[in-house]
Amino acid sequence: MNMVQSGKSNYIAGEWVDANDFSENRNPSNLGDLVGLYARASIEQTQQAIEAAKAALPEWTGASPQLRAEILERVGIELMARRDELGELLSREEGKILSEGVGEVTRAAQLFKFYAQEALRVEGLAIASIRPGVRVEVRHEPVGVVGIITPWNFPIAIPAWKIAPALAYGNTVVFKPADLTPGCGWALAEILSRSGLPAGAFNLVMGRGSVVGDLIVRSAGVNAVTFTGSEATGRSIRTIVAERGGKIQQEMGGKSPLVVLDDANLENAIDCAIGGSVVSTGQRCTSNTRIIATPAIHDALAEGMAARARQLVVGNALDPTTQIGPVVDQKQLDTNLRYLDVADDEGAQRLCGGEILEREHPGFYLSPAVYADCTNDMVHVREEIFGPVVSVLKAGSYEEALAVANDSPLGLSSGICTTSLKYAEDFKSRSTSGMVFVNLPTAGVDYHVPFGGRKASSYGPREQGRAARDFFTNSKTAYTNPL
Ligand code: NAD
């Protein structure tokens, strides 16, 4: 018997505040399973959260780094201790398989622990002036109130990689999780509410992007907005924040290429091509959805990918034998089916999958699809689908494969499978994406190094690792003439 989580309140100014409107959160593996009812914040409550975050700034920006470190460490310890329970909640609401759910909560814990230590390392620079006797310092100061808007596909790791550095560097937070997956956001807020933070330093406002998110974006009281989500939403909010003089950072969609050269290890290439695409139901921004193979390996790769995809067990995310969970909701399933029709119509060859599956309980089950005979001008190859669909393209040479890989408006991640050091090094230099992988899937990143893309995939400073400081602080240059 699954527990119904009680998320009927938002967390504002250190209090749990009831709402009049709720979203119903259902398990995509079993639509009869109600994960919980979650409060949708009103405009007034969102405004109160922003004001509370502003009021808490003096106390939190003035708090000692030791206190910040201890609070963040406490959150990390609790997340780690509860990773099985919270991982199950994550899998229930989002549909990723249990091992991935537990892995994601573990990652969230690691992020809090990492930024606990970073709170102690807010370094500056002291440098000699060009004027004799004058001293120059570069300091890094909190930005102020940070609005955090996150997507549904990593409902605890992405909030963690934004909330932890925001707090570590002395900012206060107004956090809006995705309407589709509020459960993990609520659980994280509940932990933060007991962590020792001053009232108002962290606020949770769940609800619709068009209501809660829109106010965060437009409010002059929010000094900086960090957003992860679709390219369309990202584009629409960017100018609003910029025009009112706010700071903005965005991570958005991807259509990442994986080049496979004739000299690649075939088994490894199949692992990367399938493991980085349809696994996780294809619901990762960094998925390698465009596989670009040179002629001698192309056919074996495409056939091997289809054979591997056919073997993958699609089922209930909580069943330990499942390898691919359901699609997150009906809307995303409809999008996937529409793109499958487009791919069929534009002449791609469907080698396997793309079928709705029936399982013990009603859910959004779709078998992973592998397409061959694709070209880079096809709509399903150019646009992000965000489902378990992967396209194989043929390129005559390494140079042609590189050109096809770079021919995309998006540039989040890219990869190459090769045993040639020469091509691996060349690809790392000439790829136009923000992250590059050699003999690895393009999805699957570390948390202590910069994360982010180029072109339309990203905007503003990098996330994660020490790079997060660039967004979550403002630099100040101080000149002193010691008389
Ligand atoms: P989405 O753009 O629909 O929503 C993202 C967030 O923005 C949600 O919290 C939503 O409520 C909010 N929002 C929607 N409209 C808004 C508005 N007008 N003003 C303010 N906020 C608003 O994206 P999604 O469907 O939740 O997530 C999937 C997308 O996220 C995919 O495109 C995926 O590639 C991308 N993504 C990118 C990364 C990355 O790091 N690059 C990581 C994960 C997901």
Nearest to 219 by CA among 43, 465, 453, 356: 43
Specify whether 95 is located in the same domain as 191: yes
CB atoms within 10 A of CB 199: 16
Does the pLDDT value for residue 3 go beyond 70?
no
Q: Residue 471 in contact with residue 147, Cβ under 8 Å?
A: no
User: Looking at ligand 1, which atom is closest to the CA of residue 216?
Assistant: 20
Specify whether 275 is located in the same domain as 327: yes
Give the CATH number, domain containing residue 418.
3.40.309.10
Cα separation, 459 vs 446, in Å, equals 20
Residue 5 banded pLDDT, cuts 50, 70, 90: low
- What angle, rounded to 10 degrees, do the helices at 98-118 and 157-168 form? 10
Whether 190 is catalytic is no
Report the number of distinct structural domains present in the chain.
2
Strand partners, 366: 356
Can you give the pLDDT at residue 8? Answer: 82
Q: Is residue 465 part of a domain?
A: yes
Q: Is residue 105 part of a domain?
A: yes
Q: How far is the CA of 150 from the centre of ligand 1 (A)?
A: 6
Q: How far is the CA of 138 from the centre of ligand 1 (A)?
A: 34
Q: Is residue 448 part of a domain?
A: no
Specify whether 248 is located in the same domain as 263: no
Q: Residue 171 in contact with residue 163, Cβ under 8 Å?
A: no
Residue 454 banded pLDDT, cuts 50, 70, 90: very high
Nearest to 21 by CA among 51, 49, 46: 46
CB atoms within 10 A of CB 311: 9
Cα separation, 415 vs 438, in Å, equals 6
Q: How far is the CA of 470 from the centre of ligand 1 (A)?
A: 22
Residue of the nearest CA to atom 16 in ligand 1? 209
Specify whether 90 is located in the same domain as 185: yes
Can you give the pLDDT at residue 7? Answer: 78
Residue of the nearest CA to atom 23 in ligand 1? 229
Whether 184 is catalytic is no
Specify whether 232 is located in the same domain as 275: no
Specify whether 333 is located in the same domain as 474: no
Give the CATH number, domain containing residue 35.
3.40.605.10
Can you give the pLDDT at residue 1? Answer: 45
Q: How far is the CA of 228 from the centre of ligand 1 (A)?
A: 5
Q: How far is the CA of 14 from the centre of ligand 1 (A)?
A: 27
Nearest to 184 by CA among 92, 308, 320, 64: 92
Can you give the pLDDT at residue 2? Answer: 58
Name the residue of 225, 240, 277, 285 whose CB sits within 8 Å of the most ligand 1 atoms, as the mutation to test its pocket: 285
Q: How far is the CA of 233 from the centre of ligand 1 (A)?
A: 7
> Using one digit for the tens of pLDDT, what is the confidence trace for 153-175?
999 999 999 999 999 999 999 99
Specify whether 264 is located in the same domain as 143: no
Cα separation, 419 vs 423, in Å, equals 8
Does the pLDDT value for residue 189 go beyond 90?
yes
> Using one digit for the tens of pLDDT, what is the confidence trace for 464-482?
999 999 999 999 999 999 9
Phi, psi of 462 (to 5 degrees): -65, 155
Specify whether 68 is located in the same domain as 217: yes
Domain span at residue 351? Answer: 257-438
**Rounded (5°) CA angle 118-166-55:** 125
Query: CA torsion, points 321, 327, 210, 222, in degrees to nearest 10?
Result: 40
- What angle, rounded to 10 degrees, do the helices at 266-275 and 295-311 form? 50
Specify whether 234 is located in the same domain as 339: no
Predicted TM-score (pTM) above 0.95: yes
> Using one digit for the tens of pLDDT, what is the confidence trace for 19-36?
999 999 999 999 999 999
Specify whether 268 is located in the same domain as 248: no
Q: Is residue 445 part of a domain?
A: no
Strand partners, 23: 38
Specify whether 129 is located in the same domain as 278: no
Q: What is the mean pLDDT of residues 58-65?
A: 98
Q: Is residue 450 part of a domain?
A: no
Q: Is residue 447 part of a domain?
A: no
With tokens 């398990």, the residue in question is 27
Residue of the nearest CA to atom 32 in ligand 1? 230
> Using one digit for the tens of pLDDT, what is the confidence trace for 421-437?
999 999 999 999 999 99
Q: Which of 78, 251, 384, 463 is catalytic?
A: 251
Q: Print the SS3 string covering the chain.
A: CCCCEEECEEEECCEEEECCEEEEEEECCEEEEEEEEEEECCHHHHHHHHHHHHHCHHHHHCCCHHHHHHHHHHHHHHHHHCHHHHHHHHHHHHCCCHHHHHHHHHHHHHHHHHHHHHCCCCCCEEEECCCCCCEEEEEEEECCEEEEECCCCCCCHHHHHHHHHHHHCCCEEEEECCCCCHHHHHHHHHHHHCCCCCCCCEEECCCCHHHHHHHHHHCCCCCEEEEECCHHHHHHHHHHHHHCCCEEEEECCCCEEEEECCCCCHHHHHHHHHHCCCHHHHCCCCCEEEEEECHHHHHHHHHHHHHHHHHCCECCCCCCCCCECCCCCHHHHHHHHHHHHHHHHCCCEEEECCCEECCCCCCCEECCEEEEEECCCCHHHHCCCCCCEEEEEECCCHHHHHHHHHCCCEECEEEEECCCHHHHHHHHHHCCCCEEEECCCCCCCCCCCCECCEECCEECCCECHHHHHHHHEEEEEEEECCC
**β-strand pairing of 435-438 with 30-40:** unpaired
Can you give the pLDDT at residue 466? Answer: 97
Specify whether 233 is located in the same domain as 273: no
Strands of 30-40's sheet in order across:
5-7, 30-40, 21-27
CB atoms within 10 A of CB 422: 9
Name the residue of 111, 150, 153 whose CB sits within 8 Å of the most ligand 1 atoms, as the mutation to test its pocket: 153
Q: Which of 184, 285, 374, 417 is catalytic?
A: 285
* Residues with C-beta less than 6 Å from any ligand 1 atom: 149-154, 176, 178-179, 209-210, 213-214, 217, 228-230, 233, 236-237, 251-254, 285, 384, 386, 412, 457
Amino acid at site 65: P
Cα separation, 422 vs 289, in Å, equals 24
> Using one digit for the tens of pLDDT, what is the confidence trace for 85-128?
999 999 999 999 999 999 999 999 999 999 999 999 999 999 99
Nearest to 211 by CA among 41, 52, 24, 54: 41
